[in-house]
Amino acid sequence: MGVKIVETVLRDAHQSLIATRMSIDEMIPIMQEMDKIGYYAAEVWGGATFDACIRFLDEDPWERLRIIRREMPNTKLQMLFRGQNMLGYRHYADDVLEYFVQKTVANGMDIIRIFDALNDIRNLHSAIHAAKKEGAHAQVAMSFTLGDVFTDEYYVNYAKQCESEGADSICIKDMAALITPYRAASLTKALKENISIPVDLHTHYTSGLASMCLLKAIENGCDIVDTAMSPLANGTSHTPTESLVAALKGTEYDTGLDLVKLTEIRSYFMTLREKYIKNGLLDPKVLACDANALIYQVPGGMLSNLLSQLKQAGKEEKFEEVLREVPKVRADAGNIPLVTPSSQIVGSQAVFNVLKGERYATVTKEFHDIIAGKYGKTPTPIDPEFSKKILGDEQPITCRPADLLEPELEKLRMECAEWIEQEEDVLTYAMFPKVAPKFFEKRRNKKYGVDPNADAQNRVHPV
Ligand code: CO
């Protein structure tokens, strides 16, 4: 059996390169052709796409999913799902999570890729079980990061827990492009020796290593890899699909995909790429190779966030100092992986520590909540002295954070009752309670012939 390819051009590639702004109208002309390629799966939904649909594109994300399902009946559809956060930015009660998964699968999703920023298995439990109950494939993605704690053994242990929890496959999720080719080799090998479910490698091209990493992982038994059609590959996106297909052709790893057919798909995305460059959505800067992530061991996006926070404070000269503070804050916070949302939380706290000239003189609410256990269990325990310094008399929680949440689906239904046009709308509202009503109103106006651009000056435009 050759290597299986997950095509990410309809989700992660445009999320990474053009802030998730590809619209369904831009996808429709090519999806039937993509459906003929024979990809193992196409990642098309979840992550930031849901948010971008209602916030920037005036698109119903559920309608988008139904259209994709209609246009690509022969390809498995895959989505990215942030554990108990789902597609939002807080922990949700299990009743909302179960309903979301039920509706997602009913509208056509096949594979749900579930991850937790802290790699706390308890935050994945409900999502894995809900996916399996609905008959979907539950893939667990392990947040990959560097540090003394994050050895191959750490990931093997985590993967074993995921497998016994019912995961159908495991993904190494290297969102910050930190994995190197030989680490990809040793980690894949260790996983393959210790678990029996398929292994997938998801790594970004940011530091220029991705294709080498995929190759080494494949040579060591990796079953599935994530790539993107070349016009939206490289840079902060992924390895180009065509290059990997060509590299493996005629070997025992042959993907079986037809390079000639792929170049037809490429032509279409090339016209989109040119359009994105012309309208400024695609900044050539994100296509450049950047090894800073490897030097500072923080995600590329975090570097630019820190710099812009410091610029706003007029303290750009503190950049190096903040970068040195990040590992210290991360260690205090139990060595959490730096991925959304933990990267922003650690970054902001490091900035405060440096600008105040005193560590933890100001503590953000989010940092406080990490120390209080509200995001889950950290990879290493928090030092009790430090915990007391941040929390005072408040006791940290040790249970699964969602266990403290009452069922909330009915309450949410009541809150958004006036907007409901389909059952799924309550879930859209649950994910983004501030943005969803504006989206619902525009949708209603469109339906009744009110000029949808009437309030255009109030819209947030992509930058
Ligand atoms: Co990614």
Same domain, 174 and 215: yes
389 CA from centroid of ligand 1 (Å): 35
Residues 171 and 224 in one domain: yes
User: What spacing in Å lies between the alpha carbon of 45 and ligand 1's midpoint?
Assistant: 12
* Separation CA 331–CA 328 (nearest Å): 5
In tens, the pLDDT along 351-368 reads: 999 999 999 999 999 999
Helix axes 300-312, 342-356, angle to 10 degrees: 40
Quickly state the pLDDT bin for 457 (edges 50, 70, 90): very low
Ligand 1 geometric centre to CA of 442 (Å): 31
Ligand 1 centre and the CA of 11: distance in Å?
9
pLDDT tens digits, one per residue of 18-64: 999 999 999 999 999 999 999 999 999 999 999 999 999 999 999 99
Place of tokens 């894949």: 188
Could you tell me the CATH number of the domain that includes residue 347?
1.10.472.90
Tell me the CA distances in angstroms from 120 to 141, 272, 338, 389, one per residue in order.
12, 39, 14, 24
Q: What is the pLDDT of residue 91?
A: 92
Query: Does residue 265 sit in the same domain as residue 372?
Result: no
How far, in Å, from the CA of 339 to the mean position of ligand 1? Answer: 10
Distance 343 CA to ligand 1 centre (A): 15
Evaluate if residue 116 carries a pLDDT over 70.
yes
Q: How far is the CA of 118 from the centre of ligand 1 (A)?
A: 16
Report the distance separating Cα 23 and Cα 52, nearest Å. Answer: 9
The residue whose two tokens read 């950049």 is 319
Does pLDDT of 299 surpass 80?
no
**Angle CA(265)–CA(109)–CA(15) in degrees, nearest 5?**
55
Q: Is residue 253 located within the same domain as residue 374?
A: no
Number of domains in the chain: 3
pTM of the model: 0.93
Taking residues 275-296, report their average pLDDT. 89
Model confidence at 453, pLDDT cuts 50, 70, 90, reads: low
Same domain, 333 and 259: no
- Do the bridges between strand 76-81 and strand 41-46 make them parallel or antiparallel, or are there none, so unpaired? parallel
Q: What is the mean pLDDT of residues 302-329?
A: 90
Between the CA of 12 and the centroid of ligand 1 the distance, in Å, is: 6
Which pLDDT value is given to residue 451? 55
**Has residue 136 been placed in a domain?**
yes
How many angstroms does the Cα of residue 15 sit away from the middle of ligand 1?
8
**Do 347 and 326 contact (CB within 8 A), yes or no?**
yes
Find the CATH number of the domain harbouring 23: 3.20.20.70
How many angstroms is it from 390 CA to the middle of ligand 1?
Answer: 32
Task: Specify the pLDDT at position 308.
Answer: 83
List, as one string, the DSSP characters of 91-130: ---HHHHHHHHHHHHHTT--EEEEE-TT--GGGTHHHHHH
Using pLDDT thresholds of 50, 70 and 90, give the confidence band for residue 295. confident
Q: What is the DSSP string of 383-437?
A: PHHHHHHHHTTPPPP-S-GGGGPPP-HHHHHHHTGGG-SSTTHHHHHHH-TTTHH
How far, in Å, is the centroid of ligand 1 from the Cα of 173?
Answer: 7
218-234 average pLDDT score = 98
Look at residue 449 and tell me whether its pLDDT is greater than 90.
no
Question: Same domain, yes or no, for 416 and 389?
Answer: no
Residue 450, pLDDT above cutoff 80: no
| 87 and 204 part of one domain | yes
* Residue finishing a domain among 358, 378, 398: 398
pLDDT in tens, 396-430: 999 999 999 999 999 999 999 999 999 999 999 99
